[in-house]
Amino acid sequence: MYVARGKLKKCTAQRGREGEDKALQYLAGAGWSILSRNFRARRGEIDIIAARGGILAFIEVKTANRYTREDLQHVINAKKRRSIIETSKLFLTMNRKYNQYRIRYDVMLVQGDACVRHMEGTFAEHDEAE
């Protein structure tokens, strides 16, 4: 049983990395500059940090076989959103040159070999204060 779990976890992690690779390709093709991948801090991790035209996007990538509109509500829960926001604040503290950029929190859904959806401004810091 333990070995099966390990293989499943490895497979899931590999699928996640492949999904991030697809998201990076999509973003680069859309003119985004990739600033960081898997930015980690004590409070959490941000899959991709990218900039374009005065916008700084903190992007969570989710990879799955299939997504429905209802899935979006469960893709990133409140705890994960708070973690991304707190981690983004640390990134900004460490990289003050981006303080004048407009901050945005995006989600990218990846399915198979394609970016299914790049959802811009999926959540905001003030949403989490309520």
Which residues are CB-neighbours of 54 under 8 A, at least 6 positions away? 100, 101, 102
- Token look-up 């926001």 returns 85
**Model-wide pTM > 0.85:** no
Mean pLDDT of 79-86: 94
Mean pLDDT of 98-123: 88
What's the confidence (pLDDT) of residue 129? 52
Is 130's pLDDT higher than 70?
A: no
Q: Which of 2, 7, 80, 10 is nearest to 44 (CA)?
A: 80
Q: Are 49 and 57 in contact (CB under 8 A)?
A: yes
Mean pLDDT of 74-103: 92
Mean pLDDT of 107-118: 81
Domains of the chain: 2-128 (3.40.1350.10)
CA–CA separation, 61 and 48 (whole Å): 8
**N-terminal to C-terminal alpha carbon distance within the chain:** 42
Q: Which of 7-11, 65-69, 113-117 has the lowest average pLDDT?
A: 7-11
- Token look-up 């407009």 returns 102
Q: Are 56 and 103 in contact (CB under 8 A)?
A: yes
What's the confidence (pLDDT) of residue 60? 95
DSSP state of 58: E
Confidence tier at 63 by pLDDT (50, 70, 90): confident
Mean pLDDT of the chain: 84
Is 69's pLDDT higher than 60?
A: no
Q: Are 111 and 65 in contact (CB under 8 A)?
A: yes
Q: Are 114 and 64 in contact (CB under 8 A)?
A: no
Parallel, antiparallel, or unpaired for β 44-52 and 33-41? antiparallel
What's the confidence (pLDDT) of residue 14? 79
Higher pLDDT, 68 or 52: 52
